[in-house]
Amino acid sequence: MILLCSMTFLFSVNVYAQFNDTIHKKVYKVGQPNIQGLMYVDNSGYHKGFPFEIVLHLAQDENIEIEWEPGTWPQLYKKLVDGDIDILPGTQVTLARKREIDFLKTNLFTMWSELYLSSDAQFENLYDLEGKKIALVDEDNNAAGFVEYINDFKIDYIPVSYPSHEAAVQGLKQGEVYAMVGPTSKVFNKLFKGLRNAKLYFNPTDLNIAFAKNKDKELQRKLNYRLEVYKSNPNSIYYELIRKYSLANYRIDTYVFPLWGKLVLIAGLFLVIVSFSFIYILRKRVELKTRELIKRKEFLKQVLKISEMGGWSLNLNKGEIFWSDELYFLHGLNSANPISVEEMKNLIHPDDREKVLELMDYHIKNRKDFSLEYRVIVASGEIINTRQIGVFEVNEKEKINLLIGITQNITKENLFKQELIEAKNTAEANDKLKTLFINNMSHEIRTPMNGILGFTSMLEKTGLSDEKRKNYIAIIKKSGAKLLRIIDDIMEISILGTKQIELKETKVGLNQLFDELQSIFQIKASSKGLRVNFTKIYSDQDCSLLTDESKLNKILSNIIENSLKYTESGSVDLRFVIENMNVKIYIEDTGIGISKNQQERIFERFYQVQKDSKLNEGLGLGLAIAKENAELLGGDIFLSSEEGKGSIFSLTIPFNRIEDQAEEQIQGNIIESQSIKKNARVLIAEDEPTNTLYLETILNEQSDYCFEIIKVENGKEAVQECLQRDGIELVFMDLKMPELDGFIATQKIKDHNPKISIIAQTAYSSSAERERAKAAGCDEFLSKPIEEETVIKVIRKYL
């Protein structure tokens, strides 16, 4: 089929091409009659008149070659009938002619015939032609038309025959005839110029282009098509020629649009404009509202996100559940897979499920709004705490059909609540501790104070033997030391309670620290007949670490002290190992041990196993202080103990290794004593006379020094002395003094003379205080009560 179609198409194209070729190869003969006004050749040889010019344009546009064949109208008409010429332009269409020749389907225009009068002719109506001579041109269509037209009026006129229009015009002008018949004067305006017109128009005849009968059909079709194209375009050459020749009886009708049509059109246009404006405004409003809605939606989303909330609804009639996107997000689920009621039930934590479902059931049955809190397991497996608030929606028939609500993740809120409860508990515990502490204090402080005051008054008695006096003094010293220990512990535990302790990390040599501890506790151990073994297996370099030395010292001292206290025979051993970036220090004793059930509790504040026993001299704070300090250093204390056999306390702290070999100069190195007495000017700034006297006594007891002691009672005087008096080498500066405190006084003195050594002394021994003193310029920091030995060390170090 396709092949057949293609062949037919190719054949058609071929035939068409052949036709085209024949048309374009041939030179067509066109008759050239000379009819002045209608069609003629002017003096310059140009073809003028509508029929000639339109033929020329048609031939040119269709690419057709023509040659002109001049002759008279009758001759040329005959030639056309005989097929000697091909085309005759400007031929009037009549039935008789149609039988002999072909015309284009489309006419050029319609012509009318007219009656022209002689100069003296009187004409009012057709009957004036009665008996008059009328000029008729031979073979003229206008003449034929007149005969036919006048025939109906039965007017008896005298026809006078002329061979051409020119001859007829001549006859009329010369008065040979009363009137003559011819074509419209518009066409023949040159020929009929000056002639009188009877204003009688008749015989409308189409003017067309004629072709030899049944010859060149394709040419006719092409030219006809081209002519129709011209006619359909008001700007074409056709209308240009019509305007040029102002052709009679032919006008381009201008269509007058009716008023009602105009009104309808205007109303329609108005409606269209109004509709468009309305649509535009509507669209803008919709856009604005949509934007507002999106903004609100985003805002709502944000709010829901911040409050970790999502919405849900349960259709109770259908048993269908709907979740908002936020809710799917909250549960880590994909909203593309809608959840079912069963799946939702399974999300409830198994421990809460039964209770929750029971409660829900109750609320649904009783149409009661609810607010529940329960745990949910989300997609990641995480357990979250949720709050569910549900409200019933009642339809117009008072039938519950919808339960809508929200789910909120309240995990953080619960944690916060928990923290608050814990904080409240801590506050309450602290309050209890305070009460306990006050109760304890009364007893613990009174005991040593009793000893001090009691035996001090005993000393006042006269006649005491040396032995008794020494004994009393020893008791006073011991009681004083105990009191000091209590005060220290209280200070320490209250500072630890504030949780605002800053660690002061320095390089600490464990071997050195062990040596110091051994030298301190050896005496006490020996007095009880106990052995002390402090084992050091690492080189100094290998066991230096970065930590807070005073805290480490405190921890170990407290534990060793306990071991010595609760061991009656055997030994106390101290050793340490470094493994996995930790230092483990073991303090092992062969003492009374601690029962399993007490082991957990002995680290609590104020907890004592042997309460009220003679053994117990402390406040029950030692291990609590040790444990809390160990935690501060990033470590912990562990205990393994067996009642009656002994205990092993192990302290673990991070081993922050130090590669630096340089050893810091340990404070208090005693300088070799000098044999020659040394002169020195020393200033004691102290507002408490007892303390001044104490320092003065120690200084004066130094046999190898000859001191000039200047005493002042406030910081202001201290500064004045140092500024005005030369040669002051050492200042004992109390930090808390009237007028000007020790910190500012030190600063001023150091600004004036940095060489003066200033030894701070204070009853406040916190590390913050130490730091402040150091920053002010103090060279040394002594906590009150100051031991004689410490004062001597300082003198020897700085003088």
Residues that bind ligand ADP (CB under 6 A): 562-563, 566, 589, 591-594, 602, 607-610, 616, 618-624, 647
Give 438-497 as a DSSP string: HHHHHHHHHHHHHHHHHHHHHHTSTT--HHHHHHHHHHHHHHHHHHHHHHHHHHHHHHHH
Closest to ligand ADP by CB, 339 vs 621, is 621
**Min CB(438)–ligand ADP separation in Å:** 17
Strand partners, 679: 706
State which residue, 140 or 492, has the beta carbon closest to ligand ADP.
Answer: 492
Whole-number Å distance between alpha carbons of 660 and 663? 8
Q: How far is the CB of 525 from ligand ADP (least distance, A)?
A: 13
Instruction: Name the nearest CA neighbour of 759 among 778, 783, 787.
Output: 778
Task: Considering the complex, state which of residue 589 and residue 721 has its C-beta at the smaller distance from ligand ADP.
Answer: 589
First to last CA, the chain: 129
How far, in Å, CA of 16 to CA of 681, rounded?
139
CB of 787 to ligand ADP, least distance (A): 22
**Residue 608: CB minimum distance to ligand ADP, A:** 3
Query: What's the min distance (Å) between Cβ of 530 and ligand ADP?
Result: 12
Closest distance of CB 387 from ligand ADP, Å: 45
**CA gap 587, 650 in Å, rounded:** 6
CA 491 to chain centre: 53
Choose between 49 and 593: whose C-beta lies nearer to ligand ADP: 593
Residue in the shown chain whose Cβ atom is closest to ligand ADP: 618
Identify the burial level of 319 via C-beta atoms within 10 angstroms of its C-beta, where 0-12 means exposed, 13-18 middle and 19 or more buried: exposed
β 571-579/531-534 pair status: parallel
Q: Which is nearer to ligand ADP, 315 or 447 (CB)?
A: 447
**Minimum gap (Å) between residue 418 Cβ and ligand ADP:** 29
Least distance to ligand ADP from the beta carbon of 548, Å? 20
Nearest to 752 by CA among 781, 731, 774, 772: 731
Distance CA 777, CA 683 (A): 16
Smallest gap, in angstroms, from Cβ of residue 677 to ligand ADP?
46
Phi-psi region of 147 (alpha: psi -120 to 50; beta: other; left: phi over 0): alpha
**Burial of 562: CB neighbours in 10 Å, binned 0-12, 13-18, 19+:** buried
Contact 534, 518 (CB under 8 A): yes
Residue number, 87 or 564, with CB nearest to ligand ADP:
564
The answer to whether 771 touches 504, Cβ cutoff 8 Å, is yes
What is the rounded CA–CA span in Å between residue 616 and residue 602? 13
What contacts 24+ positions apart, CB below 8 Å, involve 354-360?
A: none
Place of tokens 């269209």: 272
In angstroms, what is the minimal distance from the CB of 615 to ligand ADP? Answer: 8
Residue 636 CB contacts under 8 Å (≥ 6 apart), including other chains = 627, 630, 651, 652
Rounded CA-CA distance 239/709 in Å is 139
Residue number, 205 or 567, with CB nearest to ligand ADP: 567
Nearest distance, CB of residue 628 and ligand ADP, angstroms: 11
Give the nearer residue to ligand ADP in terms of CB position, either 390 or 593. 593
Report the C-alpha gap between 740 and 747 in whole angstroms: 11
Nearer to ligand ADP, 326 or 489 (CB): 489
Q: How far is the CB of 559 from ligand ADP (least distance, A)?
A: 7
Shortest spacing between CB 646 and ligand ADP, in angstroms: 7
CA 309, 314, 319, 320 torsion-angle sign: negative
Which pair of structure tokens corresponds to residue 80? 């056309």
Q: What angle do CA 334, 340, 342 make, to 5 degrees?
A: 125
Q: Which is nearer to ligand ADP, 558 or 761 (CB)?
A: 558
Residue 728 neighbours by CB distance under 10 Å: 22
Shortest Cβ 475–ligand ADP spacing (Å): 20
Closer Cβ to ligand ADP, 23 or 449, answer by number:
449
Nearer to ligand ADP, 165 or 605 (CB): 605
We find the least distance from the C-beta atom of residue 565 to ligand ADP, in angstroms, to be 6
Cα–Cα distances in angstroms (integers) from residue 269 to residues 172, 261, 304, 493, 655, in the given order: 61, 12, 51, 95, 94
Q: Among 203, 186, 213, 238, which Cα is nearest to 61's? A: 238
Q: Which is nearer to ligand ADP, 570 or 654 (CB)?
A: 570
- Nearest CB to ligand ADP, comparing residues 502 and 600: 600
Using a 10 angstrom Cβ sphere, with 0-12 exposed, 13-18 middle and 19 or more buried, the burial of residue 516 is middle
Nearer to ligand ADP, 185 or 616 (CB): 616
